[in-house]
Homo-oligomer: A and B are copies of this chain.
Amino acid sequence: MKLEGIYPPIATPFDQDGELYQAKLRYNVEKWNRTGLAGYVVCGSTGESVMLTTEEKIRLWEWVGEYAAPGKLLMAGTGMESVRETVALTNRAAETGYKAAMVRTPHYYKNLLARPQTQALYFRAVADQAKIPIMIYNWPQATGVDIAAEAVAELSHHPNIIAIKESSGNLEKVMQMIREVKPGFQVLVGSAPTLWPSLTVGAVGAVLAFANAAPFATVTIWEAHRAREAETARDWQERIARAAYLVTVKHGVPGLKYAMDLNGYYGGPPRLPLTPPTAEAKREIEEAFRDLKG
């Protein structure tokens, strides 16, 4: 299975009562369907998965499964701390038609889970029981655990572990993994500010929160890279730099949702304790997205 291209980990739309907002989800997905995005990741960190109940996740998978255009590859964010719950969710997503599962590194019991062998044990146990292939998901800025490149290299030999989404932004680690994994194992990145450099060193794709609000810009970088048009890729990378920083690092999901509202998608409110951006943050975002419509 090829995971090339750009995937948004889609934001979860809530109404003003904080309930899932099905109509707006449909609206967003149908709008993204008309872009060059390669597919969708449903219930990732940007989807506020840690704020969702299991029932809500299942509903989201079903809805996106219904609204996504044919040809858009569907991945489900299914990682939980325990192997058993992760397997159960993964196989539920598989039944709903998802092609792969993005599984976050377990991390709560850090003193034990920071060990490479415990990470490897978890992913092997999940992959052994999962009915669809697994993409490892590493975001140490949130989890506080950074899976070692060596552990990823080892896991790349498991037949049901096919990729990693590395969101640290650490290009040296991305390069090391590309060198050391089994041929065919796919390294995707999750950091828009370093998208183009990551592609130049061999990443095959990216799962980018930023792509929720600015799919065109991210797909343009991808396509310019494929066409070996380095100047265009660099230029667009430059153009998204400030906006990508604001809605990923600085203002997070609430900032991204505001940018979606600006750009013709439904962003809406995050769930508490996340709160909409302040007036000042909104101004920063507006300014950064002025020339990044659509």
Interface residues of A (CB under 8 A from B): 18, 45, 48, 50-51, 53-54, 81-85, 106, 108-113, 118-119, 121-122, 125, 141-144, 169-172, 175-176, 179, 191, 193-194, 197, 200-201, 230, 234, 237-238, 241-242, 245, 249-250, 252-254, 271-275
Contact = CB atoms under 8 A, between A and B. Distances in A.
24 contacts: A45-B109, A50-B81, A50-B82, A51-B84, A82-B271, A82-B273, A83-B272, A83-B273, A84-B272, A109-B274, A110-B141, A111-B249, A111-B252, A112-B254, A118-B275, A169-B171, A169-B172, A172-B194, A175-B193, A175-B237, A176-B245, A197-B197, A197-B200, A200-B230
Contacts of A82: 48, 50-51, 271-273
Given A200-B234, A273-B118, A85 B51 contact: yes
A275 B121 CA distance: 10
A115 to B, nearest CB: 10
Nearest to A112: B252
A234 B249 CA distance: 29
A48 B121 CA distance: 18
B252 A51 contact: no
Contact of A142 (B108, B170, B179): B108
Contact of A238 (B179, B200, B238): B179
A6 to B, nearest CB: 18
A190 B250 CA distance: 26
B141 A273 contact: no
Nearest to A88: B53
Given A53-B54, A197-B171, A176 B272 contact: no
A156 B143 CA distance: 28
Given A118-B275, A175-B197, A179-B238, 19 more contacts: A48-B82, A53-B54, A82-B272, A82-B273, A84-B271, A108-B142, A110-B141, A111-B141, A111-B252, A112-B252, A169-B170, A169-B171, A171-B194, A172-B193, A172-B194, A197-B197, A197-B201, A200-B234, A230-B230
A292 B83 CA distance: 33
Given A84-B18, A141-B111, A200-B197, A273 B51 contact: no
A108 B108 CA distance: 10
Q: Which 4 A-B residue pairs are closest in the complex by CB-CB distance?
A: A122-B273, A144-B144, A83-B272, A51-B82
A105 B172 CA distance: 23
Contacts of A193: 172, 175-176
A133 B45 CA distance: 30
Nearest to A52: B82
Contacts of A122: 272-273
A190 to B, nearest CB: 12
